[in-house]
Structures are given as C-alpha cells and as structure tokens.
Amino acid sequence: MTQDLAPSVRQAVRPAQQAEGWWRSAVIYQVYVRSFADSDGDGIGDLRGIRERLPYLAGLGVDALWLTPFYASPQADGGYDVADYRAVDPLFGQLSDADDLVREAHRLGLRIIVDIVPNHTSDQHVWFQAALADRREGTARERYHFRPGRGEGGELPPNDWESVFGGPAWTRITEPDGTPGDWYLHLFAPEQPDLNWDNPEVREEFTSVLRFWLDLGVDGFRIDVAHGMVKAPGLPDIGRTEQAKLIGAQVLPFFDQDGVHEIHRAWRQLLDSYDGQRIGVAEAWAPTSERLALYVRPDELHQAFNFQFLTCDWDAPAMRDVIDQSLAATQSVGAPTTWVLSNHDVVRHTTRYGGDDAELGLRRARAAALLMLALPGSAYVYQGEELGLPEVTDLPDEVRQDPAFFRGDGQDGTRDGCRVPIPWEGEEAPYGFGPGGSWLPQPAAWAGLSVAAQAGDPRSMLELYRSALALRRDLPGLGDGEMRWLDAPEGVLAFSRPGFVCTINTGGDEAAMPVPGRPVLASAALAISIPEGRSTGGTVRLPSDCCVWWAV
Ligand code: GLC
C-alpha cells in the first residue's frame, strides 16, 4: 500500500474550525524568506519570489505562512537585527511587495504571520545610534540597557551574563569624545542591543509597529524571543558560565521573567481589537511545559512553539511523555498544543533522526510527519521538510553567515546548514530557486529532491505531505480535539481520535499488532494479513520507523 490512497483535492477549511478559532487546528508553513524563492536573480530569496510560489503552498494544503523577518536590516543575524520595523529591506523588495503578498495569499485562502523582533533592535536602528551619540541621563540610552563597567576603570562588564551566541553579553562603547564609555547589553550578537522594556516609549513604539502591520492586513505575529524582553531587577550575576543556549531549559535572570506576561496581555488586547482572528505565537523557551503554558493563557498569546517535541529523541516512551506533558500543560489553560520538528535555528530533523544514515533519517522523518499531523492541535512545517531535505553539513567556512559560527563558544553555530535555498526544479543549482545563483551553495544531490522531481511520485516525501494535509482537512477527527492512547507492542505508539487511529513503530524491528481499522495513509509499504473470508480484523506487521493512519 502506498500513500496515493488519499484524496488530492484541497478542501475548504471546515466551518467548525473557523468558529473555534482557525489557529487551533492550523498547519503553518515557515518561509525562511532569504531561502525560499528569488525573483530578481541576486541569489537571495524575496517577497515577490514568495508571491509567485503561493500556488504551490496553497496546493500543498497548509493554512498559513510564517515569514521570517524581511525588515530593513544590516543582516548581522539573518534579519533578526531590525533597523526599521516599518520598512522592507531592499534585499527582499519594498513595502508594496509585502502588501501584494498579503493580498494574494488571502485570495488563495492562506493567512500570513510575520515575525516581530521586540527583544532587541539592530545597532543601526536610529534609537541605538542616538543612544551612542548622547550619554546624558534620562535620554536615548534609557531605551536600552547601558551600565558603567566594573573594575577601577570600568574595564569589566557590568555582570557575568553570556551572549547566546558566545562571549560576554556586554559590549563597551567608545563615547563621542573618544574615551572608553559605558557597556550595553546584548543577549545575542553585539549588533543586537537589548531594548529596555521598562521604558514606556519602547512599549508604545511596539504597539505602533504591530498596528502598522495589522493595518496592512497580516493575520498575526511570531514573537521572537518572547520570553526575553524583561530582565530580573538589578541585572544580578548568575555566578557560573555555560549559561544560555537558544535551546535550553535553564532558569536564568534574563529569560522567562514573570514581567513578560504583562506585555503579552497588552498585545492580546491589541490583536483582539482587530477583526479576523489575528494571532500571536510565542517563540519562548521555558524551563518546563507548565511555565510555557503561561504564555498561552486565555488573555495572552494564542500559541507557543513546542520545542520539547522538537528536541525529543526517536524513542516511543520519551515521545509519549512529551506528548502527554505538552497536552496536559496547554489543556490546563485551554490553548491548543503545537507540534514542530524543524526550523531555521536547528539541524533539520531528517539528519537529527538519521545521523549519517540518510535512508534511516528519511524513513523516520516520513513517520514523524504523520505522527505530528495526527496529534491534537496545530502544526508547523519548515520549508523543505516536505521535500525531505537533509541538513547541509559540509558548507565551506567562507560561505557561512550565522553569527553564532563566528562567535564560536556559544550556540552550536551550525544554523546555516538548515538555511540552504530550497530546490524547485532542474538538474543544476540553483534548481529554480531564482534566475541567479543562491547565497549558500546547494548540494548536487538536491536535483532529485526538487519539487518538480517529487511531484506526482506517490513514493515521494512531497506527495506524502500533500496526502496527509488533504486527509487532515477531510477527517473530522484530526486537528484540535482529544486523543486516547491504545495498547501497543513495545516501541509502538498507538492512539485514537474520533473515527481515526494512528500507529507509529519507532523500534528497530517489525512489530505485529491487530489491524485497528482501514489504512488510509502510511509512511512505508505495509503488509496486512486478513483472515480468509473476512473483511476486517487480522494482523498488521508494522515496519520499523513507520507510521500509519487508519480510519475506523
Ligand atoms: C530567535 C530566532 C533566531 C535569532 C534569535 C535572535 O531565536 O529564531 O534565528 O538568531 O532569535 O533574534
């Protein structure tokens, strides 16, 4: 059996889903703007490129897109260093392209979520430039965290905080008169000074920025570092090194402080004052699922990324625990759970699951996709995962751009490998990415992984995603709702949803179990033996690393 059992026609969103809140069941596709599609041949993806490829995304069957930052930026951290929150960077187009993109997406039934970066600005932002120029108290510096250094001549950083990208989280400036001056805080690169959210002007400015994009018609925001805006009073020392990684669960004085919730509550009110169910999604790292759930209380944001699921090993009991914890935590506040396997900051899951064994990685990635899309709630798909793209692990150092790579001892510094432009068609790089080259080199093997190479091939990853997304719209039991665990052999997870059962074998060996229903989609070929003269019952031998959807 192969996955061509599924209907291929894209159905409209179910009315019930609409009434409950579209995001509760939505599948949201992450577009890493510089690597999706390039319309002008400069080798960097852009907004017009995305607009031209919207029919592909509508046909894939996702509900919404999340666009990574395309604002005016010196690109010290792939655009997460914003110099002007209301302007489109010329690399990606102009404001009218953003407007056209939103309108065209809506025409095709797709919603658009944009990234907002409130924890820090670029060092080229007018506010930071003004702060450098004017050291008087009560002025521009109070929009950021400026402090005198420690030590006799102020030559030591104000505290022991480390940057997520490595090295101290403080940089000393030179005053306009040429003397060494105060230090400023940057949890990320020195080009990304942290804003001081105790300053009312900062809060007002972001309300205005959010309004700007809401007025343009966007359906919501992915909030970058949503757990970082508020710092512990007095900026206390931590007393140890090896502090913050982007992916982490440590308790730290600069992450997950209670004060951030007040900001999110105010933003929720703003979102609710617009029609059309605009949403806020938290990129928040919290020490526990319970702490994370606080971000999605009824009067706060709508969703938070479930990084616990992303970081879980390929192991049935561990996955079951994470699923249970995630569901319990979000249910306690009435929010939908989200599921995510990859994004632009982590090693692609095909490679995480398979290591050097590409075939194993692909098999598991196929199974993981069906698992994720069968679980209750909303799911995120990172561009290229629907093509089964692996991490590019052999990028030469000269082409790398991730600031973490250059700052060595911080976050692993390998984020360029998941950001390589995706292949659309053709035998040679840039595989239809654009009329020019591509800002990171694409592997030769990607000809076989392009959209054109996979389209119509029932065994391909792309057709598996298309079928799964079409079925997810058709089967009323999927999306938001309940699930119940079923008995299953060791290494297998089985759960039911109304009219539906999902089984996944994460073990290294085939596992036999009673046939739970009629198979509608499988990540690998299945052998089912049904006793002669009967149409139901029998035994299924679930291959290793295989997930199956059953209608019951
Ligand atoms: C978020 C982004 C990451 C960026 C960081 C700093 O974690 O996903 O790409 O480097 O914030 O803005």
User: Do 332 and 438 belong to one domain?
Assistant: yes
How many whole angstroms separate alpha carbon 249 and alpha carbon 447?
A: 39
Look-up of token digits 């306690």: 332
User: Do 397 and 539 belong to one domain?
Assistant: no
Residue 12 CA to its chain's centroid (Å): 25
User: Do 147 and 270 belong to one domain?
Assistant: no
Residue among 31, 225, 285, 305 whose CB has most ligand 1 atoms within 8 A, to mutate: 225
User: Do 140 and 241 belong to one domain?
Assistant: no
- The residue type of 516 is P
Task: Indicate the length of the chain as a whole number.
Answer: 552
Instruction: Give the closest residue to 526 by CA, choosing from 376, 365, 367, 373.
Output: 367
How many whole angstroms separate alpha carbon 433 and alpha carbon 435?
A: 7
Structure tokens at 178: 């040429």
In a domain, 547, yes or no: yes
**pLDDT score recorded for residue 364:** 98
In a domain, 154, yes or no: yes
User: Do 439 and 488 belong to one domain?
Assistant: no
Domain's final residue, options 450, 473, 496: 473
Q: How far is the CA of 188 from the centre of ligand 1 (A)?
A: 8
Instruction: Give the closest residue to 189 by CA, choosing from 67, 75, 347.
Output: 75
**pLDDT score recorded for residue 250:** 82
- What DSSP state is assigned to residue 520? E
In a domain, 1, yes or no: no
Q: How far is the CA of 404 from the centre of ligand 1 (A)?
A: 11
Closest residue to atom 2 of ligand 1, CA basis: 224
Domain's final residue, options 473, 501, 534: 473
Cβ–ligand 1 contact at 76 (below 6 Å): no
In a domain, 259, yes or no: yes
Question: Are the CB atoms for 49 and 36 separated by under 8 Å?
Answer: yes
**Structural element, H or E, at residue 353:** helix 349-354
In a domain, 8, yes or no: no
Question: Are the CB atoms for 79 and 71 separated by under 8 Å?
Answer: yes
Q: Which residues contact 505 (CB under 8 A, 6 or more apart)?
A: 367, 491, 492, 511, 542, 543, 544, 545, 546, 547
Structure tokens at 516: 């739970």
Kindly give the parts of the chain with pLDDT less than 70. Answer: 1-19, 244-248, 408-413, 530-536
**pLDDT score recorded for residue 18:** 44
**pLDDT score recorded for residue 138:** 74
Q: What is the CATH number of the domain that holds 528?
A: 2.60.40.1180
Ligand 1 atom nearest 120 alpha carbon: 12
Q: Over the range 66-81, which residues count as b (16 or more CB within 10 Å of their CB) and which as e?
A: bbbbbbbbebbbbbbb
Rounded to two decimals, the pTM is 0.95
* Beta-carbon-side half-sphere exposure of residue 214 (alpha carbons within 13 Å): 23
Question: Are the CB atoms for 1 and 519 separated by under 8 Å?
Answer: yes
In a domain, 312, yes or no: yes
Cβ–ligand 1 contact at 91 (below 6 Å): no
Residue among 66, 115, 123, 188 whose CB has most ligand 1 atoms within 8 A, to mutate: 188
Look at the alpha carbons of 421, 348, 167, 186 in this order and tell me if their dihedral is positive or negative: positive
User: Do 245 and 329 belong to one domain?
Assistant: yes
User: Do 156 and 281 belong to one domain?
Assistant: no
- The residue type of 136 is R
Q: How far is the CA of 32 from the centre of ligand 1 (A)?
A: 12
Domain's final residue, options 439, 473, 507: 473
Beta strands in 186-240 (DSSP E): 220-223
In a domain, 462, yes or no: yes
Please give the residue range of the domain that contains residue 227: 15-118+200-473
Q: What is the CATH number of the domain that holds 169?
A: 3.90.400.10
Look-up of token digits 């009315």: 15
**Which residue intervals of 53-92 are DSSP H helices?**
54-60
34: helix, strand or coil: helix
- State the DSSP string of 290-328: HHHHGGGSTTS-SEE--HHHHT--S-HHHHHHHHHHHHH
Instruction: Give the closest residue to 64 by CA, choosing from 421, 303, 293, 417.
Output: 303
Ligand 1 atom nearest 165 alpha carbon: 10
Give the strand order in the sheet containing 492-497. 484-486, 492-497, 500-505, 546-551, 518-522
Catalytic residues: 224, 283
In a domain, 114, yes or no: yes
Q: Between β-strands 111-116 and 84-88, what pairing exists: parallel, antiparallel or unpaired?
A: unpaired
**pLDDT score recorded for residue 251:** 87
User: Do 224 and 326 belong to one domain?
Assistant: yes
User: Do 176 and 214 belong to one domain?
Assistant: no
**pLDDT score recorded for residue 288:** 86
Q: Name beta bridge partners: 146.
A: 184
Cβ–ligand 1 contact at 365 (below 6 Å): no
User: Do 290 and 346 belong to one domain?
Assistant: yes
- What DSSP state is assigned to residue 143? G
Look-up of token digits 């951030």: 260
Q: How far is the CA of 179 from the centre of ligand 1 (A)?
A: 32
User: Do 366 and 277 belong to one domain?
Assistant: yes
- In the chain, the number of structural domains is 3
How many whole angstroms separate alpha carbon 157 and alpha carbon 22?
A: 47
Look at the alpha carbons of 226, 232, 234, 238 in this order and tell me if their dihedral is positive or negative: negative
* Other Cβ atoms closer than 10 A to 133: 12
User: Do 85 and 213 belong to one domain?
Assistant: yes
